[in-house]
Structure 1
């Protein structure tokens, strides 16, 4: 349940080989990156060593408190996880890690995990409205956080009447986690799917096609949205021109652009 984002190849290499990164950033930042790395590798003891070193430098550091809370929770030491949550809640302003750990603890039970699986199965079967009901029952009024928030808002945005809340939720996650390519891709796809925000979505997908981890998906979605748009007017033509600059061999998109120009 408690997954960490993969670090970049450059960071992994630096953590493995040492000195270069240490010269580039301060010791606390390096320790935080090490904590994330070891936690992502499912090495809780090594992660805890890094997090505790961070707390020696700054006893209030939220990433370290959250990381240690997750380690305790995964070891089924819920009371100790709660102690870290209390320390996070004492911080002002309240960090998002406090809300994330509170959600993690609340959803750690077998019953909650069963509810979460039921919601995901409803999404997979296309029963999105029912999935929203199941997610809301699971969240019990809490604002969703992290990966669960990502899947909840993405599903919500597909439902009738759910677009505004879904969009706002995805935009919040983009602000909180600018390195999360998937949530940015979800938002851009939803924008491109809707006629009134399609141009905005296509521009966002063009930017995301520069990110290595999602380049193919973003570029394919960008092209699809251009075909939905059809022959462009003058205001839309630059979207087609930008795509053709990246893909000069695409005759279908070139033909749509030519048709739009011919129509004036």
Structure 2
């Protein structure tokens, strides 16, 4: 009996702590997603089909009324749109749906369009903070949905202190309306410039699923990987790119580059050099030194390998060898793009060598 009681207790406890399974989206949620997708991709037929069903299922849902309002406004039916806005003000006067719709209606007026044009001019002439202030005054705290929201948060992203906030808002909009390729393009570039590469590639992969966004996604993706130093990592990056994209100028260039890199890495000396350079960049001096010594032995005039070897010795605290290799690298290539870094390291190591 005790064993049976314990088992029941254990089962009950297990059920109590089990995470709740996320509820499947309702029919209304799925249809609203279709509306947003139709708006993002300018598929008015999809919007109308979804709205027709929504108005049968849940006609008083503020999001449904707001969607009908936007549809009428796009068709130029100002009176019909105003009726939906008035209805929304009665149904949900405090809702985001009403506030956003009210702003959208304002933007359809001459004064609203003029104020929006002023904010856009400020944004395009490098006055991001002034532009955001103008947008905020116009929107009164409630940016409209759709392309204007993307425009607003893309402008906010130009303010360094608010870039993270803007990226998160653009990610939210992208999740709600994943077919907006202009948004995805901007979001991916923002993520890459913020050193959030994995997230950037995830957005490009999403963008590549649509015919409208595929070419743009391919160009941005290849632009992010084509200048990687030759290594196992660069080969993997090219293979990943080619597993997603199959045609276009960037694909042809990537195929040629992949073949060349695989040929280079088949050479033991080249592979040792590539692995050594990558190890130095990762701060792994112990691993990089023998590989760079092997590369330098094969080509004693390889300034990049010698400079990296000097950097590796510096990381390890071997000042004499760091100085010797950095001096050789600078003498071999006085105009290298690495010269500022090598000169700085040389000064530091000479200083420590002098006081030892």
Task: Judge same fold: TM > 0.5, yes or no.
Answer: yes
> In structure 2, do the counterparts of structure 1 residues 132 and 213 end up closer, same or farther at CA, with 3 Å as the change threshold?
same
Match of 2:160 in 1: 160
CA distance in 2, matches of 1:75, 1:184: 30
Whole-angstrom distance in 1 between the partners of 2:144 and 2:121: 18
Deviation per CA, 1:192-228: give whole Å up to 9, x if none. Answer: 233x212431343244223211111111111112246
Q: CA deviation at 1:180?
A: 2.6
Displacement of 1:100: 3.3
CA change 1:65–1:142 in 2 (3 A) is closer
Work out whether residues 244 and 253 of structure 1, in 8 Å CA contact, stay in contact via their aligned partners in 2: no
Q: CA deviation at 1:126?
A: 4.2
Deviations along 1:114-139, whole A, 9 cap, x unmatched?
11112223333444343223222222
Aligned-CA RMSD value: 4.0
Structure 2 residue aligned with 1:130: 130
Counterparts of 1:72 and 1:187, CA distance in 2:
27
Please state if 1:242 is matched with 2:240: yes
Partner Cα distance (1:222, 1:50) in 2: 34
Give a deviation string over 1:135-187, Cα, whole Å, max 9, x none.
Answer: 22222222453211101112222332231121011011012212333322321
Bigger radius of gyration among the two: 2
2:222 is paired with a residue of what secondary structure?
helix
- Classify 1:97/1:236 alpha carbon distance in 2 versus 1 (closer, same or farther; 3 Å): farther
Q: Relative to structure 1, is the Cα distance of residues 167 and 61 closer, same or farther in structure 2, using a 3 angstrom cutoff?
A: same
Change beyond 3 A, Cα 1:231–1:165 = same
Contact 1:89/1:98 (8 A) holds in 2:
yes
Q: How does 1:173-188 map to 2 (within 5 A)?
A: 173-188=173-188
Alignment gaps of 5+ in structure 1: 1-24
Match of 2:118 in 1: 118
8 Å CA contact 1:209–1:215 kept in 2: the answer is yes
Please tell me whether the aligned partners of residues 85 and 102 of structure 1 are also in contact (alpha carbons under 8 angstroms). no
Distance across 1 between alignment mates of 2:43 and 2:180: 18
Change (3 A) 1:212 1:42: closer
CA contact under 8 A between 1:203 and 1:239: conserved in structure 2? no
CA–CA distance in structure 1, aligned partners of residues 196 and 258 of structure 2? 20
> Residues 52-91 of structure 1: matches in 2 within 5 Å?
55-62=55-62, 64-70=64-70, 71=72, 74-77=76-79, 80-89=83-92
Deviates more, 1:212-221 or 1:110-119: 110-119
What is the alpha-carbon distance in structure 2 between the residues aligned to residue 235 and residue 50 of structure 1?
Answer: 45
Aligned to 2:150: 150
CA contact (8 A) 1:69 1:85 kept: no
- The answer to whether 1:263 aligns with 2:274 is yes
For the Cα contact (< 8 Å) 1:189–1:205, is it kept in 2?
no
Asked if 2 retains the 8 angstrom alpha-carbon contact of 1:99 and 1:145, the reply is no
Aligned equivalents of 1:253 and 1:132: distance in 2? 44
Which residue is equivalent to 1:17? none
Identify the residue that residue 314 of structure 2 maps to in structure 1. none
